Amino acid sequence: MRKHVTRLSQFVIDIVALSVALVLAFELRFDWSPSMAMWERAFVVAPYAVLLEYACLRLFQVHRQAWRYVSLREMTRILLAVSTSTAVLVAIRMLSGRLQGDYPALRHGVIPLGAIAINSLLAFLLVTGVRVARRMVADARDAKRRTPRLRPVPTLLVGAGQAGLMVARELAARPDVGLKAIGFLDDDPTKTGLVMHGLPVLGRTDELARLCKARGAEQVLITMASVPRQAIRRIRGLCDEAGVPVKIIPGVYEIVDGRVNLSRIRDVALEDLLGRTPVQLDLDRIEASLRDAVVLVTGAGGSIGSEICRQVARFRPASLVLVEHSENNLFYIHRELSGAHPTLDIVPRIGDITDAERMREVFTACRPAVVFHAAAHKHVPMMEWNPVEAIKNNVLGTRVVADLAHALGARTFVMISTDKAVNPSSVMGATKRVAELYVQARGREGDTRFVTVRFGNVLGSAGSVVPIFKAQIEQGGPVTVTHPDMTRYFMTIPEACQLVLEAGTFGSGGEIFILDMGEPVKIVDLARDLIKLSGFVPDEDIEIRFLGARPGEKLFEELSTDDEHASKTAHPKIFIGHTRTASLRTVGERLDAMAEAVRMQHTQRALRLLAQTVPEARLDSQASLGYLERVSSSGAPARAGTEDEAATHDDEASDSRRGVA
């Protein structure tokens, strides 16, 4: 009932506004004293003109727009509607002028062009004005309800672009947030001295310390929607020198319909300091691949698998099938996705990828068109201690799901691999290389397009180096690093998964796509950044202690071998590695032998077969035993934070038999 009353009242207000505009147009055109003939003409034409103008408003969907949130986008629609009705009125006026000699009644349609022009302007102003007035009243009412609990913090906004103006507008309307914007900093010299949304542009960012002191700023907020990470690092350094905290609006993807979610304002995080530029995606290409398709994700509850699910859900597939071994992880990702996408068909399925019968049941029931295989055991030392389980899950589990995708006619199969598969020095890396070989070989038969995406470490994945470092910092240290020269490639989980989706649209099958990971990062530098971000001084407040390399670890990771000669694709951050391949029969025979060794729990035979299948691997099956004895005798915790725990896959390594990522 209330909705109908609201719609009726809005209709009446628009009709009254358009009628008033027409009457005032005649008054203004004739200096407030139109002749009786003109008044007669106005009153004859008014019903038709007003109905025409309102019909144009409906044509441009103006009647469906919420008055409470009117913005420039809505004003543009109103302008188009008024312009269209004006053009029709001008056409009627010209036609009536030509035909009135033969049809005298058409003289009423000869409206003065000046009156039409004035009516057009007034109609736009009045129709827009009532909506703006509605928003102003609602904003004022909300502002009274949103009283700040504490004194607002004087804040300098860095970045006077579109995102900065949106933030300024939202802060002005939300005093309850507790931030008071006092001005902008921007490195564009043409903006200095201007007033934008009621706030002055005070100067450049290199003047930050002086302006904070002069203006009494107690905080800095970075409000650039797309900003190089080097700039974030520089601004944070300037804030450290000025002794003021710095926060950030994460990015343009946080800004929806011209509004900023102020709850997303957060401290500068390690991800912001990586020195990587934002990923640009071909969204149309990805949507064409996923829209209205049945998509299945293995390891759907892990760090990478769950983020792939979040990204896929944005493109409205026909259904999204979540395959996960951990009941808790499956529960949480299913609940999150169901809340965020209530109309999407989300199918949770508990299952281990090594369980061929269960996987066949799942695949047969859903018949996926696209499969993202993110399930894997990922922790290097854990797999050194459990090599048979690594082979069982990473190799044989991959064969199970790849064969089912082939047998049931999936359109695309995308496997997540790792930089540790290049010249592997660990069991985990070698098993992922064998999985790559099998997926490549399988891709040469049938219509399913099999591709592999290989990348390095992701920040914040389950059991990765960052949360471990954070936990050590919270305990007062020490932060444990294996070697001062240890380096790794890093990217954020969302960035990696976005590139995985795009890479899945490339190629004809059998390719290994290598993601550009940027410049390698020293693990000790990562530790120092985290200590500083936590408000401590490295080596003074928090000790950094070196433990020595663990079994299977390299000092430097590789993303492709020298003989791969990686070539470019349509995306600047995705390359194709031209790797050694083998026939499906050859790889299949090796996997059959591995399966028998796994069934019999013959560890040494399984490792020999692994080394024979990946001759470039440098495996030492005794290294893990020596490392375990060394760590146990020294009393150091077996879970000490190390860089290889930040691997690409999202499996929780504590479950030795999980088929999850």
Which residue numbers are catalytic?
420
Phi, psi torsion values for 571, nearest 5 degrees: -100, 130
d(CA 512, CA 578) in angstroms, rounded, equals: 7
Counting every residue, how long is the chain? 661
Phi, psi torsion values for 573, nearest 5 degrees: -110, 10
Paired residues of 157 in beta bridges: 184, 221
CB 414 within 8 A of CB 500: yes
Of the candidates 577, 432, 440, 575, which has an alpha carbon nearest to the alpha carbon of residue 515? 575
Of the candidates 24, 11, 95, which has an alpha carbon nearest to the alpha carbon of residue 53? 11
Q: Where are the beta strands (DSSP E) in 569-656?
A: 574-577
What is the token pair recorded at 303? 């760090």
CA atoms within a 13 Å half-sphere pointing along the CA-CB vector of 231? 16
d(CA 423, CA 297) in angstroms, rounded, equals: 28
d(CA 429, CA 606) in angstroms, rounded, equals: 15
The residue written with tokens 């001084």 in the block is 537
Of the candidates 408, 421, 430, 431, which has an alpha carbon nearest to the alpha carbon of residue 453? 421
3-7 long-range contacts, Cβ below 8 Å, gap at least 24?
7/63
Q: What is the 3-state secondary structure (H, E, C) of 88-106?
A: HHHHHHHHHHHHCCCCHHH
Kindly tell me the burial class for residue 46, based on how many C-beta atoms sit within 10 Å of its own C-beta (0-12, 13-18, 19 or more): middle
- For residue 395, the 8-state DSSP code is I
124-143 exposure pattern, b = at least 16 Cβ within 10 A, e = fewer: bebbbebbeebbeeeeeeee
d(CA 296, CA 300) in angstroms, rounded, equals: 9
d(CA 372, CA 441) in angstroms, rounded, equals: 18
* Cβ atoms within 10 Å of 84's Cβ, excluding its own: 17
d(CA 405, CA 394) in angstroms, rounded, equals: 16
